[in-house]
Structure 1
Amino acid sequence: MRQYEQLAKSIIQQVGGKNNINFVVHCATRLRFNLTDYSLANTEKLAKIDGVVGVNPTPTQLQIIIGSHVGDVFEEVVNQGIATDSSDIKEVSQVIDKDTNLFNKVIDTITGCMTPMIPALTAAGMIKVILSLCTTFNWLSNESSTYRVLDFIGDGAFYFMPILLAIFAATKFKVNTSIAVIVVGVFLHPNFTSWISSGEPISFIGLPIQPVIYAASVIPALLTIWMMSYIEKGVDKITPQALKIILNPTLVLLISAPLALIVVGPLGNYAGQGLAWVINLLQGQLGFIMVALLAAAMPFIIMTGMHHALTPIFVASFSATGTESLILVAQICANLAQGGASLAVALKSKDKSVKSIATAAGISAIMGITEPALYGVNLKYKKPLIAACISAGAAGCFAGFLHVTLYVPQNSLMAILGFSGDKGTANVIAGLIMMLLSVIGSFILTLILQKDENKAVTSTKEVQKQVA
Structure 2
Amino acid sequence: MANKNYDELAKQIVANVGGAENVSSLVHCATRLRFRVVDSSKVNKEKLKQTEHVITVVEAGGQIQVVIGNAVADVYNTIIRVTDVKSDDEGTGNESSEKDKNLINLFMSTVSGIFAPTLGAMAGAGLLKGILILCTTMGWLTNDMGTYRILFAAADGVFTFLPLFLAYTSAKKFGADLFVSVGIAAALVYPDLTAAFKAKEALSFLGIPVVLVSYTSSVIPIILSVYALAKLEKGLKKILPGVIKNVFTPLISLVVMVPATYLVIGPIADYAGKLLAGGYMTIVGVNPIIAGFILGLIWPAAVMFGLHWGFVPIVINNITQYGRDTLFTITGPNNFAQAGATLGVFLKTKDKKVKDIAGPAAISAVLAGITEPAIYGITLKYKKPFFIGAFFSGIAGAITAAVGAGAPALLGTSLLTLTGYIGVGFTGFCIACAIAYFGSAICTYLFGFDDSMLIDNEKKPESPVVPEVKDEMIKAPVNGALIPLSEVPDEVFSSGTLGQGIAIVPESNVIKAPCSGTVITAYPHAVGIRTALGAEIFVHVGLDTVKLGGKYFELLVKDGDEVKEGDSLIKVDIEALKAEGYNVTTMILVTNSRDYEEVLPSAHNKAAAGDTILSCISRK
TM norm structure 1: 0.91
Shift of 1:384: 0.6
Q: Measured at CA, do residues 99 and 261 of structure 1 come closer, stay the same or move farther in structure 2, by a change above 3 Å?
A: closer
Stretch deviating more after TM superposition (256-265 or 57-66): 57-66
5 Å matches for 1:127-142? 127-142=128-143
CA distance in 2 between counterparts of 1:245 and 1:208 reads 32
Q: Which residue of 2 aligns with 1:45?
A: 47
Q: Which residue of 1 aligns with 2:266?
A: 265
Shift of 1:167: 1.1
Q: Measured at CA, do residues 323 and 411 of structure 1 come closer, stay the same or move farther in structure 2, by a change above 3 Å?
A: same
Q: Report the secondary structure of 2:101's partner residue.
A: coil
Q: 1:71 aligns with which of 67, 70, 73?
A: 73
For CA contacts below 8 A with separation 6 or more, give which structure has more relative contact order.
1
Q: Which residue of 1 aligns with 2:310?
A: 309
Q: Report the secondary structure of 1:55's partner residue.
A: strand
Q: Which residue of 2 aligns with 1:224?
A: 225
CA distance in 2 between counterparts of 1:124 and 1:441 reads 31
Bigger strand fraction: 2
Q: Measured at CA, do residues 152 and 50 of structure 1 come closer, stay the same or move farther in structure 2, by a change above 3 Å?
A: closer
5 Å matches for 1:230-379? 230-325=231-326, 327-366=327-366, 367-379=368-380
- Residues 7 and 78 of structure 2 are in contact (CA less than 8 Å); yes or no, is this contact kept in structure 1? yes
Q: Which residue of 2 aligns with 1:430?
A: 428
Shift of 1:177: 1.0
Stretch deviating more after TM superposition (391-400 or 378-387): 391-400
Q: 1:27 aligns with which of 26, 29, 45?
A: 29
Deviations 1:269-323 (A, max 9, x none): 1011111211221331412222211111112112222211110111111122222
CA distance in 1 between counterparts of 2:295 and 2:61 reads 24
Shift of 1:99: 5.4
CA distance in 2 between counterparts of 1:428 and 1:51 reads 37
CA distance in 1 between counterparts of 2:40 and 2:238 reads 33
Stretch deviating more after TM superposition (117-126 or 199-208): 117-126
Shift of 1:446: 0.8
- Residues 450 and 456 of structure 1 are in contact (CA less than 8 Å); yes or no, is this contact kept in structure 2? no
Q: Which residue of 1 aligns with 2:571?
A: none
Shift of 1:170: 1.0
Q: Which runs of 5+ in 2 are unaligned?
A: 463-620
Q: Measured at CA, do residues 218 and 87 of structure 1 come closer, stay the same or move farther in structure 2, by a change above 3 Å?
A: closer
- Residues 127 and 417 of structure 2 are in contact (CA less than 8 Å); yes or no, is this contact kept in structure 1? no
Q: Which residue of 2 aligns with 1:466?
A: none
The residue type equivalent to 2:24 in the other structure is N
CA distance in 2 between counterparts of 1:199 and 1:412 reads 38
- Residues 21 and 82 of structure 1 are in contact (CA less than 8 Å); yes or no, is this contact kept in structure 2? no
- Residues 353 and 460 of structure 1 are in contact (CA less than 8 Å); yes or no, is this contact kept in structure 2? no
* 1:450 counterpart = 2:448: yes
Q: Which residue of 1 aligns with 2:18?
A: 16
Q: Report the secondary structure of 2:406's partner residue.
A: coil
CA distance in 1 between counterparts of 2:370 and 2:208 reads 49
Percent identity between the aligned chains? 34
Q: In the comparison of the two structures, how many residue pairs are matched?
A: 457
Q: Report the secondary structure of 1:32's partner residue.
A: strand
Q: Measured at CA, do residues 111 and 247 of structure 1 come closer, stay the same or move farther in structure 2, by a change above 3 Å?
A: same
Shift of 1:198: 4.0
* 4+ long deviations beyond 6 Å: none
Q: Measured at CA, do residues 130 and 32 of structure 1 come closer, stay the same or move farther in structure 2, by a change above 3 Å?
A: closer
CA distance in 1 between counterparts of 2:323 and 2:61 reads 34
Q: Report the secondary structure of 1:412's partner residue.
A: coil
Shift of 1:461: 9.7
Q: Report the secondary structure of 2:4's partner residue.
A: coil
- Residues 62 and 108 of structure 2 are in contact (CA less than 8 Å); yes or no, is this contact kept in structure 1? no
Deviations 1:17-57 (A, max 9, x none): 23323342221111122222111111122112222111111
The residue type equivalent to 1:305 in the other structure is G
Deviations 1:340-377 (A, max 9, x none): 11111111111112111111111122221111111111
- Residues 8 and 77 of structure 1 are in contact (CA less than 8 Å); yes or no, is this contact kept in structure 2? yes
Q: Report the secondary structure of 1:277's partner residue.
A: helix
Shift of 1:10: 2.0
Q: Measured at CA, do residues 143 and 80 of structure 1 come closer, stay the same or move farther in structure 2, by a change above 3 Å?
A: closer
The residue type equivalent to 2:338 in the other structure is Q
Q: Which residue of 2 aligns with 1:459?
A: 458
CA distance in 2 between counterparts of 1:34 and 1:220 reads 26
Q: Report the secondary structure of 1:62's partner residue.
A: strand
CA distance in 2 between counterparts of 1:191 and 1:93 reads 35
Shift of 1:127: 3.2
CA distance in 1 between counterparts of 2:199 and 2:395 reads 50
The residue type equivalent to 1:313 in the other structure is I
Q: Measured at CA, do residues 65 and 129 of structure 1 come closer, stay the same or move farther in structure 2, by a change above 3 Å?
A: closer
Shift of 1:379: 0.9
Stretch deviating more after TM superposition (288-297 or 453-462): 453-462
Q: Which residue of 2 aligns with 1:85?
A: 87
Deviations 1:150-187 (A, max 9, x none): 33333211211111111111111111111001112111
* 1:7 counterpart = 2:9: yes
* 1:399 counterpart = 2:431: no
Stretch deviating more after TM superposition (142-151 or 358-367): 142-151
- Residues 167 and 222 of structure 2 are in contact (CA less than 8 Å); yes or no, is this contact kept in structure 1? yes
Bigger helix fraction: 1
Q: Which residue of 2 aligns with 1:57?
A: 59
Q: Report the secondary structure of 1:283's partner residue.
A: helix
The residue type equivalent to 1:128 in the other structure is K
Q: Report the secondary structure of 2:5's partner residue.
A: coil
Q: Which residue of 2 aligns with 1:151?
A: 152
Stretch deviating more after TM superposition (454-463 or 305-314): 454-463
Shift of 1:88: 4.4
Which structure has the larger Rg over C-alpha atoms? Answer: 2
- Residues 34 and 64 of structure 2 are in contact (CA less than 8 Å); yes or no, is this contact kept in structure 1? yes
CA distance in 2 between counterparts of 1:93 and 1:150 reads 39
Q: Which residue of 2 aligns with 1:417?
A: 419
- Residues 354 and 460 of structure 1 are in contact (CA less than 8 Å); yes or no, is this contact kept in structure 2? no
Q: Report the secondary structure of 2:58's partner residue.
A: strand
Give the aligned CA root-mean-square deviation in angstroms: 2.2
The residue type equivalent to 2:273 in the other structure is G
Deviations 1:370-413 (A, max 9, x none): 11111111111011111111111111112222222233422222
CA distance in 2 between counterparts of 1:178 and 1:89 reads 15
Q: Measured at CA, do residues 167 and 93 of structure 1 come closer, stay the same or move farther in structure 2, by a change above 3 Å?
A: closer
Q: Which runs of 5+ in 1 are unaligned?
A: 464-468
CA distance in 1 between counterparts of 2:403 and 2:147 reads 35
CA distance in 2 between counterparts of 1:198 and 1:408 reads 26
- Residues 133 and 419 of structure 2 are in contact (CA less than 8 Å); yes or no, is this contact kept in structure 1? no
The residue type equivalent to 1:122 in the other structure is A
CA distance in 2 between counterparts of 1:407 and 1:155 reads 10
Q: Measured at CA, do residues 85 and 344 of structure 1 come closer, stay the same or move farther in structure 2, by a change above 3 Å?
A: same
Q: Which residue of 2 aligns with 1:122?
A: 123
